[in-house]
Structure 1
Amino acid sequence: MQIYNTIKRPVVTEKSQKLELSWVYTVIVDPSATKVDIKNTFKRLYGVTVEAVNIIKTREKFRNTKTWASLKRKMETKALVSLKGKERISDFAKIKD
């Protein structure tokens, strides 16, 4: 997998901001990306050493109406990337697509 297609965007929420204080970064990744792909992408793009990668697959969320169910949220794959030591990625939340 190509390194620029692996990471789609960072997750910027209150919970992800708290995790960044403990050197864990949250990103939305390509659904076909493996833990090894994500680890190699962080190493090449940001020059940091990755300790662990955890993957979470969120399911679709529907909203029911009288006649049909419409899609409210698509399925996404999140990755929680733990960095080794006390390495940081500067301005991680400002990274765009």
Structure 2
Amino acid sequence: MQMYEIIKRPIMTERSYVLNESLNQVAFEVDRRANKIEIKGAVEKIFDVKVKNVNVMNTKGKVKRNRFGMGKRQDWKKAIVTLEEGSEIKVFEE
């Protein structure tokens, strides 16, 4: 897998802002087939930072109702990446 296929997008929520400020952690949506080692390598190469730890969780898609009946959102995988001291990703600026 290419490193740009592994990291899909950063997750920007209120909780991710708090994690970034207090614990130097950044949350990403990643490919469901990626493991911790691949995620760590991709983040280090793309953003040119040192990664201390990677936590991964599989998130189930919610069941939603629409005009055709019940539907389900896609399942996805979230990675919370802890950065080394002195490293930062400028995703949350602006």
Question: Which 4+ runs in 1 deviate beyond 3 A?
Answer: none
Give 3-state SS (helix, strand or coil) of 1:16's partner.
helix
TM normalised by structure 1 equals 0.84
- More helix per residue: 2
Specify the alignment match of 2:27 in structure 1: 26
Between the aligned partners of 1:9 and 1:31, the Cα distance in structure 2 is: 13
User: Which amino acid is the alignment partner of residue 10 of structure 1?
Assistant: P
**C-alpha displacement at 1:51, in angstroms?**
0.6
Give 3-state SS (helix, strand or coil) of 2:87's partner.
coil
Aligned residues: 91
User: Which amino acid is the alignment partner of residue 78 of structure 1?
Assistant: K
Work out whether 1:41 is the aligned partner of 2:42. Answer: yes
The question of whether the paired residues in 2 share the 8 Å contact of 1:31 and 1:77 is answered with yes
- Note the aligned Cα RMSD (angstroms): 1.8
- Structure 1 unmatched runs, 5+: none
TM normalised by structure 2 equals 0.87
The question of whether the paired residues in 2 share the 8 Å contact of 1:28 and 1:77 is answered with yes
- Structure 2 unmatched runs, 5+: none
**C-alpha displacement at 1:20, in angstroms?**
0.6
